[in-house]
Structure formats: structure tokens, C-alpha cells
Structure 1
Amino acid sequence: MQEKSPILAKNQGFIVAVQNNDTQVLKNLYVTNYPKIEILVLKNNGSKDQAKDIYQDAFLAVWQNIKQNKFVPKSESSINGYLYTIAKNKWLDVLRSQGYKKTIVASQLNHFEIKDEENNNIDDDILKDKRLEDVMLAFKNLGQACKSLLRKFYFEKKSMNLIAEELALDSASTRNKKYRCMQKLREIALKNN
């Protein structure tokens, strides 16, 4: 029988501590990750109160998913990334919500720096001078393949690896396809202006 590496044993200990509601581990996880989420929300037209609400929702979702084995993290850093992704998606949901669209002009979002799962900045130049409704109109004029891919990534919040699997492509090809679809979306949106 093979012995576990010290790193693997430490990570499993951390995960078990989260599953067993270890107050100190949960508090440390909460305190360590909150500043990143606050920065994300504040840089994208949010308030500190909104950041706290989004973070609490995301933290509870992550905690419940780990407890119910819906998410089995390989390390503490994968929990941190998962927490950031959930908080980011929850904030994007707020930004996409109908009530929010009516009050925020997309040109106010010119420093939109939400990072995707690979920690690359999403380069959404369209949002600089257009309202979100214009982007959605352009989205309707995209080809079916691009609409499907972008819908899976941005609205269904599927990972690029899962989308690649569904499309029977490798990850690099799927990322390239997503990039080309975003370029096409930009072209359509700018043409409609």
C-alpha cells in the first residue's frame, strides 16, 4: 500500500475540516478570500454591501457543495478558485439582471476586469460604449454554433473543459472558438452602431 504524500494528506485534512464545520478553518477561508471579491465587485460598479451579500451567498454555496460532495476540491487553492468563480458568476448575474440593466449604462463599465476561470481578463470592449441591450441584440444575430458556445460559458456557467467535452473538441480549440465568437459578436455590435 502506498503512503500518501504530506501535501495530499494536508489537503485532505483541510477538506475534511471544511466538511466537519471546523470553525477556525472556515473563518480562515472566509477572511482570506473576501478581499478579492470585494475588489471584484467594487471595480465593477458595486458597493461594499453588495460585495458582502455576493460573498456570503458564494461562500455558503461552496461550503454546501463541499459538504454534499458536489465539489471535491483537490487543494485549498482549488477551493479559493471555485469560491472566486461562484462569486464572479453571482455578480455577473446581478449585472445581467433586468433591473440593473435599466440603471447602469454599459459605458460606465469601461474598467470591467472580471477574470475568467483561467484568470485571463475578459476583454469586453463592446461594453465600453454600448448598452447591454445592444450586445444582446448582436448576440441574437450570431450564428447558432457561437450562440450555443457563448450561452454555455456565460449563461450556463459551464467550464471550458466541459464545453470542450460536449463539443468533442480539445480545450485549446474550444478556447479559440470562444475567442472567435466574441470577435464576431464585437463586429456585429459595432456594425449595428
Structure 2
Amino acid sequence: MPKDSINQLSQEELIQGIKENERSVMSSLYIEVFPKVKSYIIQNNGDEDQAKDIFQEAFLVAWQKVKAEEFLPQNSTAMQGFLFQVSKNKWLDWLRSSRFKKESSLGAISIEVADAEKEFLLDERLSMLDRAFQQLGESCQELLKLFYFKKMSLDKLAQSFGWTPKTAKNNKYRCMESLRKIINS
């Protein structure tokens, strides 16, 4: 082929070159599309060796479709887009496969253990906080529930309890200090 780049070939010339197994066309197609496929696979939990394997399989599918005249170009980059899409689909199939799940299950198990440990520690802290909260007097419990859980402002708390806003602020502070002392003892 006299043209040096795949971009200089029409889709018809590209298809004809593939049908005739022209080395320059096949090589140009590889050089044009493989970097995009490799980038996609690496961004989606893969590595370069996997990208090479997937691209090889996709290239074979594309070559077979062209040989069987089952591929009809729709635009000026149809073959490149088709090859990328086949590669992408093959990669997604591999990710869904049991082989991938087996290879990644050890990593998932360690993540699950770490998550379970975090959840256990959080449950333990919440339980400790609840026990400490139950040791507070009723008025402190009510004040803290209204402020933190019901999101009641200090002004509304003051009205509710018949206090000044400054007294509400001081009482909230004293209740929090009592809670901290219980937790730290």
C-alpha cells in the first residue's frame, strides 16, 4: 500500500487490506487501536499483558468478520471503532467471568474483613456511648437529644426549658462535659 498511515486509507481500502492480509494495514491498525484498548483495560482493573491478550482476541474476531464480509463500514473510523468495541466487550466479559472473580476474591476477602472490623469498632463505640448517655441525668439526656438529634437551636432550647439562651448554652456544655467524664472513666 502506498499510503503510510491507517488514517490516510479509506474504510474500503482498509477492509480490502485486511481481506488480503496486507501486513502494513494490519500493523497500522494495531498501532492505531491497541494503545486505546490498553489504556481502557488498565483503567478498568487490568494490566498490559491482559490488554495484549484481549486485543489479540478482538483482532481475530474483527479479521474473521471482515473475511466473512459481515462487517460493513458506516463511517471513516468504523473499523477502528469496531475493533475497540469488540476489545471493550471482551474485557467486560472477562471481568464478569468466574476466572476474574477467583483471582480477585482474595483481595475482596481482605477488604470485607477490614470493613467488618471497622463496623465492629463503630458498633462498640456506639454501644459505649449509649451506656454513658444512659448514666446522664434525665434533663441532660433530654437537652442533648433535642440539640443533637432533633437539631433544635439553642434559642428554641432556651424557650422550651424556660432559660435564657446563655443558660441553654452553659447547660449544654455542662451536659457534654459530664458525658465526656463518664466515657473517659
Greater C-alpha Rg: 2
Q: TM-score, normalised by structure 2?
A: 0.49
